[in-house]
Amino acid sequence: MFDVAIIGYGPAGATLANLLGQAGLSTLVLEKEAVIYPLPRAIHFDGEVMRIFQSVGLRQAVETISRAGLKGMQFVNAKGDTLLTRGGTAHQGPHGCASNYYFHQPQLEQVLRDGVSHFGNVDVRLQHEVTDITPQADHVNLSVTDARTGQATEVQARYVVGCDGARSLVRKVIGSPMKDLGLHQPWLVFDVLLKSHAPALPDHTVQYCDPARPMTWCNVTENRRRWEIMLMPGDDPAVLVQPETLWTLVSRWMKPEHADIERAVIYTFHSVIAEGWRKDRLLLAGDSAHQTPPFLGQGMCAALRDVANLAWKLEAVLRGRASEALLDTYESERSPHVHAFIELAVKLGDIIQATDPDKARERDAHFKAGQPEIFEFPSPCLGAGVLHGNKAPVGQPFPQPVLADGRLLDEHLGNHFAVIGRAHVLSGVSEETQQVWRETDVLIMPTQDPALLSWLDEHGFAAIMLRPDRYIMGTARTSEDLDAVTACLCATALQPH
Ligand SMILES: Cc1cc2nc3c(=O)[nH]c(=O)nc-3n(C[C@H](O)[C@H](O)[C@H](O)COP(=O)(O)OP(=O)(O)OC[C@H]3O[C@@H](n4cnc5c(N)ncnc54)[C@H](O)[C@@H]3O)c2cc1C
């Protein structure tokens, strides 16, 4: 009997395996394929995601295979005018790292799997396909086929997380319908490896909003570059992926002698969210729960935010520190958050994918040439759940400053709830609150650190409570406010023993 079985060893499953491995839970990973999916899909992740890697000790390893993307993204029309930009960012953004990174997905997945290999409590079984799922009152039975021998076996786990991608079996068993957010469009994804004499091309991502053929250009890592090319009416997919067609499509920028083709595959981008991420002991995470067009580079990021949200809740429930109801806050918190990102990606898709020349002219007129609009990465709040209040910054991630001792904040925090603030406010809380903090292992961090005090002063607070996933659970101006936040912690999440 495992505590948790994870079905699927893509980025969501592998990150969850690291988080549960670190939490000391007995974990089984079942993956039907023998090797990491070799074709690059995701190429971008954000600063919050780097912080998740940091939380499982993989930041340095991920940094060695990724590139900080400091130059932002531009949306350019057919005449070459910039309509919209996402600004560049510093090396040290709010999460204590760059705000955007580029990477090659198979390399990242290898780093995640290497991380998992350090945990003796995580059993990884490759070439094991889950064929049937039978929920029981206090556990779940999984029927598994070993592709090497064809032998079928049964395994049991207290909880099962379906990190099994867009065609999820777990989602089918739960019976969750998909809410459609409207965008379904085939795009050709064309990856190349530049040769040394290739012409200079932009370092930043460019969305070519040309109604004749919308395209995206991305600098990935090292000599790897990507075009994403929208399919137009009348395109024959089989012809489109032929080398001759591919080179013709990008002939404005480069010629066959400038690069080797790595692959060219047609994907249909979707915008959907499952309604029902949990049924009893079955849960969904990643592409099984939602899919977004990649215009913001957020599909995998959302998957990793899912598992960072879920891991500490599963740990609390399995260790008897919280009731099962805590697991319901997983969807109620995450679904509106991922909804906001998908909606923005669909809006950007409407800008990029305008193929009607009149609509494209209207769009260009809206965006006044020479005065590009700037859009910020959204920072939506979590939906209702383990939160005291529903107004930002509650429900947003707390920044990760470098503290006066030179260490990053998260290195002080570990994976606990934490109260950070002015000493007199922390020491002024009630006896009851102090007892709850002791019994639920809340980390108490009275601080005089300039970076932390400056954030508190700027927002008009004296203290905050952070959750293990670094989201702000509640804010306080007084000790009594902290008593209220702590009462909310007991009501929504942890039960003092
Ligand atoms: C062209 C493209 C560009 C993208 N760009 C970005 C980007 O820049 N940034 C970003 O954040 N995201 C991006 N994405 C999205 C990102 O790739 C996905 O969101 C991410 O891979 C999802 O991870 P996952 O672990 O949920 O699912 P997957 O990676 O699909 O993994 C699911 C795993 O489950 C296994 N599995 C399925 N069923 C079973 C079963 N029954 N038994 C055992 N194993 C099973 C599969 O073999 C697979 O290994 C992009 C996607 C595409 C297609």
pTM comes to 0.97
Which whole number is the average pLDDT over 182-207?
A: 91
Query: Where do runs of H (alpha helix) occur along 40-87?
Result: 47-55, 59-65
> What is the Å distance from ligand 1's center to 497 Cα?
39
Residue whose CA lies nearest to ligand 1 atom number 6: 42
Task: Specify the ligand 1 atom closest to the Cα of 43.
Answer: 8
Q: Are residues 155 and 22 in the same domain?
A: yes
Question: Which residue segment(s) compose the domain that 415 sits in?
Answer: 409-492
Strands, E assignment, 122-211 = 122-126, 128-135, 140-146, 152-162, 178-194, 205-209
- pLDDT value at residue 375: 79
Total domains, the chain: 2
Residue 401: the pLDDT is 97
Same domain (yes/no): 329, 455: no
| 53 and 156 housed in the same domain | yes
Pick from 341, 274, 276, 327: nearest CA to 49? 341
Residues belonging to the chain: 497
Distance 275 CA to ligand 1 centre (A): 19
The tokens 């912690």 sit on which residue? 489
What number is the average pLDDT over the span 228-257? Answer: 95
Q: Which two tokens mark 174?
A: 């739960």
Each residue's pLDDT tens digit, 44-87? 999 999 999 999 999 999 999 999 988 888 999 999 999 998 87
| Statement: residue 88 has pLDDT above 80 | no
Domain of residue 319, CATH code:
3.50.50.60
Residue 371: per-residue pLDDT = 79
**Residue 369, pLDDT above cutoff 80:** no
Residue 47 CB less than 6 A away from ligand 1? no
The CATH number that applies at residue 415 is 3.40.30.120
How far is Cα 437 from Cα 303, in angstroms, rounded to an integer? 31
Ligand 1 geometric centre to CA of 176 (Å): 19
Asked if residue 346 has pLDDT above 80, the reply is: yes
338 shares its domain with 415: no
Nearest ligand 1 atom to alpha carbon 13: 25
Distance between CA atoms of 313 and 385, rounded to whole angstroms? 11
Determine if ligand 1 sits within 6 Å of the CB of residue 286: yes
7 lines ligand 1 (CB under 6 A): yes
Residues 316 and 437 in one domain: no
